[in-house]
Structure 1
Amino acid sequence: MTIASSPSNIDSKVVCGTIAAIRGSVVDVHFPEQLPNLHDILRDDRSTAIEVETYLTPHVIRGLALTPTTGLARGDRLTSTGTSLQVPVGDRLLGRMFNVFGQTIDGKAPIEGGDWRSIHANPQVSQERAIATELFRTGIKVIDLLAPLERGGKAGLFGGAGVGKTVLITEMIHNVVRRLEGVSIFCGIGERSREAEELYREMQEAGVLANTVMMFGQMNESPGARFRVGHAALTMAEYFRDDAHRDVLLMIDNIFRFIQAGSEVSGLMGRLPSRVGYQPTLATELAELEERIFSTPSHSITSVQAVYVPADDLTDPAAAHIFSHLSTSIVLSRKRVSEGLYPAVDPLQSGSKLLTPLVVGDRHYRIAQAVRKTLATYEELKDIIAMLGLEELARHERQVVYRARRLERFLTQPFFTTEQFTGLPGRLVELEDVLDGCERILNDEFSDRSETILYMIGTIDEAPAAQD
């Protein structure tokens, strides 16, 4: 990891060259004497920033513009800064919003001087990583029950457009940040500027902004900036984990946009595409980012990543490669959205490697398996019910259907971040209350009650009040 007190204090070569060709965001630069290092930033007398990507000849490099190339022309002079892209680190970042260059975009005073670090860093060796397994509670019933998160692990929220990925991430921030003694970092990759502004205001109103850092590379920015913003956020997260010795919660929305930006960069650089048009280096580029997220023996970076799934196809190469890095996979279902079951988590496709008796305990494992089995049986019976009707099922099958429908409604939950839209006060539910509620439903305790009393409540004890 490159560390310096400030970008100007780095002892490295500063060389000058002239632009030989410009094709969109790709710029070829000729250097008559020596070449700059890979990943060095080239600048002109304006605000243009170009990152050195590869060497074409002993005197020509190919660079990627991180800013718009409007106004650049052949023959223009560029100077190497002698450093790679850097961002500030330290407690001074808390409560602030940044772009990929480490510049503040919240309208407040800029961050200058102090400690700045290169965004390019290699993951630590495996001996320095912690191997202990610990649950990370979110207060969201269906996740804590069927797809528990790992402290220091990586969780993915998979879903197509409009199924609630950003809402779920925002709710996790609301539930977790208040009781988290560490730092939260939100990294927006290629998402809408409206969402960034709304999230900033929500976190300010919730009183959690003071322990949060926000980093954005929005969808209107160049592919180079969107491709590097994830590494910039991880550089800040690594400082808080390794130097400040604090636990970090890293939210990424949306990791698919990182892959998409890499695909755009690959095409601009002239590389032949691979499967479904993705870049041939997809697996390597994703691993370089994901392998920097882990726990040390003292502190951890826990990551929750929204993953856009093109056309709701979980076999898409981008989704398949992301799956391989995760300890928890939470799949959001458009079908459950249409049924009004929020959060729209698919309980049968979602899962976690932590859901074993040795980690979560026998009671949690037993109840989770019973819930999943009940819901799976109901899914198998739906075709028969649609054709012949519920009355044609055997008595024990009807009981399974009734339990499954009650479980589905109990696992819905009103969110704090959607109170203004639903009119329902948000609920944060502890795991013991979730287990107690599911166990009582599985034991047919509510078989004589309408299933609607279990819809959009917190703990099971709220059901009688909801009935009244």
Structure 2
Amino acid sequence: MLICFPPPLPSLRAVHHRPRIPSDSCHRAQIAAGTRGYGDIDAGGVSTGLLHCTSAPVRNAPAMSRANMHRMYMVSAWTSVSVHLQLATRLLHHWTDPFLSSSPLSDSHIHELGHARTSTRPLPPEGNTLPLYPYSSRFSGIVSASKTVQLRFHILNNTAYARATNLIRTMLSRVQSAMIRRAVGVRAASSSSSAAAAAAAAKPAEHKGRVGYVSQVIGAVVDVHFSEGVPPVLTALDVTEDLGRDEPLTLEIVQHLDANTGRCIAMQTTDLLKLKSKVVSTGGNISVPVGRETLGRIFNVLGDAIDQRGPVGEKMRMAIHAEAPKLADQAAEDTILTTGIKVIDLILPYCKGGKIGLFGGAGVGKTVIIMELINNVAKGHGGFSVFAGVGERTREGTDLYLEMMQSKVIDLKGDSKCVLVYGQMNEPPGARARVAQSALTMAEYFRDVEGQNVLLFIDNIFRFTQANSEVSALLGRIPAAVGYQPTLAEDLGMLQERITSTTKGSITSVQAVYVPADDITDPAPATTFSHLDATTVLDRAVAESGIYPAVNPLECASRIMDPDVIDVNHYNVAQDIVQMLTKYKELQDIIAVLGIDELSEEDKVVVDRARKVTRFLSQPFQVAEVFTGMTGHYVQLNDTVESFSGLLMGSYDQIPEMAFYMVGGINSVLEKAKAMAEEAAAMEKQRRARQAANASDSQ
């Protein structure tokens, strides 16, 4: 029996395909016609996985019995095992290349495993079990098997399969080792390239002053070609040609299209920019001035003063892109930040050094709360404050600046405590996407260098996400859920992780978060939730009922609302207030259907006190006095807790409900109730006087 090797690259069908033996009747017909013999396997049979014999004519070939056919099938199966061994050996040779340490198998090993060559003469018949067939010049032999040969076949079959299994395992192990070695080599090459990139970034002077030319302008996206190679990503570029504006156009590289072309985002409008305009590398990232010289000034995203008060005269500038503090350098501080706003201090106390989010739709009062927090906290705050106006109305920025000057937070002739950084609605997406980093860089300087406890106000963090979404679309990235950029979590995380407290100082951040279409599950606000220590949800239904601030206490949360952090009495009062409001919400459906008279006496008491609590959570703001005509109030934390504790105990059940609306502390309630009583008495006196006058006239 002669077994031929397959071609150099064996077909996988040959490895996995089992030899096909013709049926008994078909086999007899082929033998009778002289078109099929027994035992030969040629190269074509190996490559297709079929037992194919030569077509030499056979004369007087007797028909085979089923027992002989069964023996023939066993011999063919053994031949298939040998073929499989040969194919596994050839696969091993094919996958073994020079970088493997193992050496290929020897010919003797191949011969031993595969039994590649057998005698060309058939075995002598025993007991005339198989008839002898005439020889042919094209046949390798006719196989004759006895019971002893069959037993030896079974033994050899099991051994061959075991050896084949071990051989394949060895082959797979060597291939896997080769793949691991190659992967390690690629990783090492990647590490070396990363180290080279870091070294290049550490030496900005190498590409400082490198000249390029504008090759394409697509709105806020500009492609720049450098013949000497593109500077690193996030490098700032200046367009030197005169575009009819006071300041030069600044670009920031965000993509490398090839070795000589970089895709940039413009920080100003690209009006009048044309092809072939000259661009020069600044050698570093966008930087902003830092230090006490910035206090009381208004800056744009590039750190240029826009308050028309002359140059800043800074002594130091810092790049706006930086890494977040290391875990070992961070510090957690669980201390209440008193805001003077009753609903915030009672239900969801803010944490010093934490991140606070104000969630709400359009027109529910997010900016007003931020301005009140600036007024209440920044005034009494010993450190400095930084305000970042990200994509909001320019009118609000002007109002805030004037309000701070009136309150002496910004003193044009003395010491100021606040820095304003604006990138408003009229700015291109590049400016709105970077203005938050510019303001954060100034706050980081006060925290890390001067060891201050800094307040950072961001209005609105959703506009930051929206600007990055616009940039992502201009860069051609495939949008993710609801059309946001695929890097939404990364963009927001890189900014939020820099806002933290360290062993040197702290940054307490208050961020307004616009909720599109009042859908709190929108990807932008939903992604922001995971970074915050306290969430304040402003509800449009509360605002429509006339309660301001329109905070829904049942949807708010705070990390430090814990008896181990805050006072136990404070915690118990807050939990009882939430439970009462929850019970009142459940009873509202019954009241709407059946009326309040159908409730039990206990539920009537709950409803009466809950309505007073709801109105007592309202509060006039100092920054809104010019709009409401009401005097703003700042309420101390102890007064807030004692007031609501008295409401729960029923100490103020005799006071009318309207006396709790839009007031400060409980003293304001008592004063308003007294004034209401006096007004009611005066009106009653006037009514009786009119009745007496009417009676005298009738007489």
Percent identical across equivalent pairs? 47
Aligned to 1:4: none
The correspondence for 2:418, drawn from 196, 207, 212, is 212
RMSD: 1.2
**Residue 10 (structure 1) shift:** 6.8
Aligned to 1:98: 299
Secondary structure of the residue aligned to 2:462 is helix
Q: Distance in 1 between matches of 2:397 and 2:333?
A: 34
Q: Are 2:233 and 1:38 equivalent residues in the alignment?
A: yes
Q: Distance in 2 between matches of 1:298 and 1:355?
A: 26
Aligned to 1:271: 477
**Residue 444 (structure 1) shift:** 1.1
Structure having the higher strand fraction is: 1
Q: Are 2:269 and 1:68 equivalent residues in the alignment?
A: yes
Instruction: Give deviations 1:102-156, integer Å, cap 9, x for gaps.
Output: 1111110122452011000000101101123111110100000011111110000
1:313-462 matched pairs, under 5 angstroms? 313-462=519-668
Say which structure, 1 or 2, has more relative contact order (CA 8 Å, 6+ apart). Answer: 1
1:22-421 matched pairs, under 5 angstroms? 22-45=217-240, 46=242, 47-112=248-313, 114-209=315-410, 210-421=416-627
**Residue 12 (structure 1) shift:** 4.4
Q: Distance in 2 between matches of 1:460 and 1:298?
A: 40
What TM-score does the superposition give when structure 2 sets the normalisation length? 0.65
**Residue 465 (structure 1) shift:** 1.3
Instruction: Give deviations 1:245-287, integer Å, cap 9, x for gaps.
Output: 1110000000000000000000000000000000000000000
Secondary structure of the residue aligned to 1:466 is helix
Structure 2: gaps of 5 or more residues: 1-202, 243-247, 411-415, 675-699
Q: Distance in 1 between matches of 2:521 and 2:420?
A: 31
Secondary structure of the residue aligned to 1:117 is strand
**Residue 452 (structure 1) shift:** 0.8
Of 446-455 and 204-213, the range deviating more from structure 2? 446-455
Q: Distance in 1 between matches of 2:320 and 2:206?
A: 17
Opposite residue 273 of structure 2, the aligned amino acid is L
Is the 8 Å Cα contact of residues 325 and 502 (structure 2) preserved in structure 1? no
Secondary structure of the residue aligned to 1:168 is helix
Q: Distance in 1 between matches of 2:667 and 2:628?
A: 21
Of 104-113 and 217-226, the range deviating more from structure 2? 104-113
Secondary structure of the residue aligned to 1:279 is coil
Change (3 A) 1:405 1:227: same
Secondary structure of the residue aligned to 2:363 is coil
Secondary structure of the residue aligned to 2:564 is helix
Is the 8 Å Cα contact of residues 639 and 666 (structure 2) preserved in structure 1? yes
**Residue 70 (structure 1) shift:** 1.2
Q: Distance in 2 between matches of 1:348 and 1:257?
A: 27
Q: Distance in 1 between matches of 2:620 and 2:450?
A: 35
Secondary structure of the residue aligned to 1:95 is coil
Aligned to 1:6: none
Of 25-34 and 144-153, the range deviating more from structure 2? 25-34
Aligned to 1:21: 216
Q: Distance in 2 between matches of 1:319 and 1:413?
A: 26
Is the 8 Å Cα contact of residues 305 and 311 (structure 2) preserved in structure 1? yes
Q: Distance in 2 between matches of 1:312 and 1:219?
A: 21
Q: Distance in 2 between matches of 1:181 and 1:217?
A: 27
Secondary structure of the residue aligned to 1:57 is coil
Is the 8 Å Cα contact of residues 386 and 439 (structure 2) preserved in structure 1? yes
Q: Distance in 2 between matches of 1:378 and 1:61?
A: 61
Opposite residue 257 of structure 2, the aligned amino acid is L
Is the 8 Å Cα contact of residues 156 and 307 (structure 1) preserved in structure 2? yes
Change (3 A) 1:264 1:38: same
Q: Distance in 1 between matches of 2:299 and 2:314?
A: 15
Is the 8 Å Cα contact of residues 267 and 430 (structure 2) preserved in structure 1? yes
**Residue 50 (structure 1) shift:** 0.9
Is the 8 Å Cα contact of residues 332 and 353 (structure 2) preserved in structure 1? no
Structure having the higher helix fraction is: 2
Is the 8 Å Cα contact of residues 659 and 672 (structure 2) preserved in structure 1? yes
Q: Distance in 2 between matches of 1:132 and 1:206?
A: 29
Secondary structure of the residue aligned to 2:288 is strand
Instruction: Give deviations 1:373-406, integer Å, cap 9, x for gaps.
Output: 0001111111111111111111111111111101
**Residue 96 (structure 1) shift:** 0.6
Is the 8 Å Cα contact of residues 482 and 523 (structure 2) preserved in structure 1? yes
Structure 1: gaps of 5 or more residues: 1-8
Q: Distance in 1 between matches of 2:510 and 2:236?
A: 30
Secondary structure of the residue aligned to 1:259 is helix
Is the 8 Å Cα contact of residues 12 and 83 (structure 1) preserved in structure 2? no
What TM-score does the superposition give when structure 1 sets the normalisation length? 0.97
Aligned to 1:3: none
Is the 8 Å Cα contact of residues 330 and 345 (structure 1) preserved in structure 2? yes
Secondary structure of the residue aligned to 2:257 is strand
Q: Distance in 1 between matches of 2:389 and 2:314?
A: 25
**Residue 322 (structure 1) shift:** 0.4
**Residue 298 (structure 1) shift:** 3.8
Q: Which runs of 4+ in 1 moved over 6 A?
A: none
Is the 8 Å Cα contact of residues 290 and 314 (structure 2) preserved in structure 1? no
Instruction: Give deviations 1:319-351, integer Å, cap 9, x for gaps.
Output: 100000000000001111111111111010011
**Residue 447 (structure 1) shift:** 1.5
Q: Distance in 2 between matches of 1:133 and 1:303?
A: 15
Secondary structure of the residue aligned to 1:273 is coil
Q: Distance in 1 between matches of 2:373 and 2:204?
A: 39
